[in-house]
Amino acid sequence: MLFRFRAFARATRFGAVAEALIVAVPLSACAVGPNFSRPAPPDDAGYTPKPLPDKTVSAPTQAGGAEKLVMNRDIPFEWWELFHSPALDSLVKKSFAANPTLPAAEAALRQAKELVAAQQGFFYPSLTGGASASRSQTGSTLSPATANGTFLYNLYAAQLNVSYTPDVFGANRRQVESLDAQASIQRFQLEATYITLATNVVSAAVTEASLRGQIAATKEIIDQDTKALRILKDQFRLGYAMRIDVAAQEAALAQAEATLPPLEKAFEQNRDLLRVLVGNLPNEDIAEKFDLDSIQLPQELPVSLPSKIIDQRPDVRAAEEAIRSANAQVGVAIANRLPQFSITGSYGATSTMWSSLFSPAGAFWTIVGGVSQPIFDGGTLLHRERAADEALMQAAYQYRSTVLTGYQNVADTLHAVVSDADALKADFASEEAAKVTLDLTHKQQQVGYVDYLTLIQAELAYQQAKLTLVQAQAARLGDAAALFQALGGGWWNRKDDVANKAANATAN
């Protein structure tokens, strides 16, 4: 590129001007302001004050298996495949192909990269060319005649202009550095978009499975309550039951029926969410359907080392790049207070005849060097520098806040994984006990040992235990998905992004 420019300059007799500008390019030898260095990971970082168990408890029910927490295991980008649900795999792939948030994030990244490339253009001289042609007549009493003795003549002109601002104190390099950091922020936001989209799909699928199970359980309870009310009415008609027993059962049935519409509404709204996540309109249905039996709980959950969280979480990496951008802006502000150098030059030719336009007789050229130094600006540049310092301080504290939140998210999820396993075991035992109690109470009521109100209470207890069990099963599936997201979602293993692997290798 430099050789071509020199050859062009000499060919157009612009050598002296161009060579002077080219020699000025290496003057950009330093960049004022602080140099960025990556924040060190927190000392003695961890997730919990006390060690967590290596394995969760188990229960003999769906999603009740024991999960092993495996330290320092890498996270696959396709972590949702660990749920062994073909329907879930299909839905995630559809969302990646059609959800508009991904191409929007990709466009934002491309825009940021173009802004970096545009700013890099200021490292080089700018060259413009122009030509003009005019026809004029001068008055004989005011102007002398032209060389050919006429007052009517043509004037042709051609000119090249070149200007260059040497980046002596690195203002432009700091600006490029800031924009490059902004581009990196967009890249990490793109990775966060992938992770969030996949997690939202998995979460919505688990929610559908939970709601489908709760609706099925509620309908079963309504059927049982309806049958019990029918039997009780027959007994009342024959004189074997009291009216208060019938009224109590009618109230129990009404309460059970009242819980169904909210579940059905939530189910349909969740289906709307799934359709939109894959880029469909709400009226464009999807074939994938989910229940608790179709989604398996992963038997092993990877747990990254605490020191790796700052490299794996896209939000932390984006916050780090925000520091780099703010750090570079401090250098820009400092450089703006220092002398500004400029070099301009022009080369051209004029002639009244086109055929002699490029002859040596009509050639002209100029070269001008300048320097300017702010002397008084009302404190504008000083306060801008101070503002840049404060922005850097703000970015540093925001980074610290993001790091703390990241560790908290992982810790919260790990606590949920362990606690929800304990809760599911207890809920399963409660559901089993409630079922036994209901069966025994029903037999006792048939032989007259207990009244019907006691049976209704046993039915209500079993109803609540069954719904709670379904919710606990869904919670365990959701905890696994939340842990993958909290640990970074494996974006560095995304196969179609070679830059991710390079960035991760550099970070490590």
CA 496 remoteness from chain centre:
17
- For residue 98, give the amino acid letter: A
pLDDT at residue 26 greater than cutoff 50 = no
pLDDT band at 145 (very low <50, low <70, confident <90, very high): low
pLDDT at residue 499 greater than cutoff 60 = no
pLDDT band at 146 (very low <50, low <70, confident <90, very high): low
Neighbours of 15 (CB within 10 A): 16
CA 479 remoteness from chain centre:
20
d(CA 130, CA 144): 28
pLDDT at residue 62 greater than cutoff 70 = yes
pLDDT at residue 52 greater than cutoff 90 = no
- Would you give the DSSP letter of residue 19? H
Question: CA-CA distances (angstroms) from residue 227 to 14, 287, 464, 499?
Answer: 101, 35, 19, 64
- For residue 156, give the amino acid letter: Y
264-291 pLDDT, tens per residue?
999 999 999 999 999 999 999 999 999 9
* pLDDT given at position 139: 66
d(CA 477, CA 427): 15
CB 452 within 8 Å of CB 504: no
Domain boundaries along the sequence of the chain: 1-30+125-166+339-372, 54-123+168-338+382-507
Q: Is the dihedral of CA 391, 396, 402, 405 positive or negative?
A: negative
pLDDT band at 448 (very low <50, low <70, confident <90, very high): confident
* Domain 1-30+125-166+339-372: CATH architecture, name and number where available: Single Sheet (2.20)
CB 57 within 8 Å of CB 422: yes
d(CA 278, CA 160): 55
pLDDT at residue 100 greater than cutoff 70 = yes
Neighbours of 455 (CB within 10 A): 23
pLDDT at residue 141 greater than cutoff 80 = no
pLDDT at residue 492 greater than cutoff 80 = yes
CB 418 within 8 Å of CB 52: yes
332-371 pLDDT, tens per residue?
999 999 999 999 999 999 888 887 888 888 888 999 999 9
* pLDDT given at position 475: 96
Average pLDDT over residues 3-9: 33
* pLDDT given at position 503: 47
pTM for this predicted structure:
0.84
Average pLDDT over residues 418-445: 93
Question: CA-CA distances (angstroms) from residue 409 to 132, 142, 304, 398, 442?
Answer: 67, 86, 13, 16, 47
pLDDT at residue 495 greater than cutoff 50 = yes
* pLDDT given at position 149: 57
302-336 pLDDT, tens per residue?
999 998 999 999 999 999 999 999 999 999 999 99
Establish how many alpha carbons lie within 13 A of residue 309's alpha carbon, considering only the half-sphere containing its beta carbon. 28
SS3 348: strand
* pLDDT given at position 150: 59
Query: Which CATH superfamily is 54-123+168-338+382-507 part of?
Result: Outer membrane efflux proteins (OEP) (1.20.1600.10)
Question: CA-CA distances (angstroms) from residue 277 to 95, 107, 198, 244, 284?
Answer: 6, 19, 9, 51, 12
Between 446 and 67, the higher pLDDT residue: 67
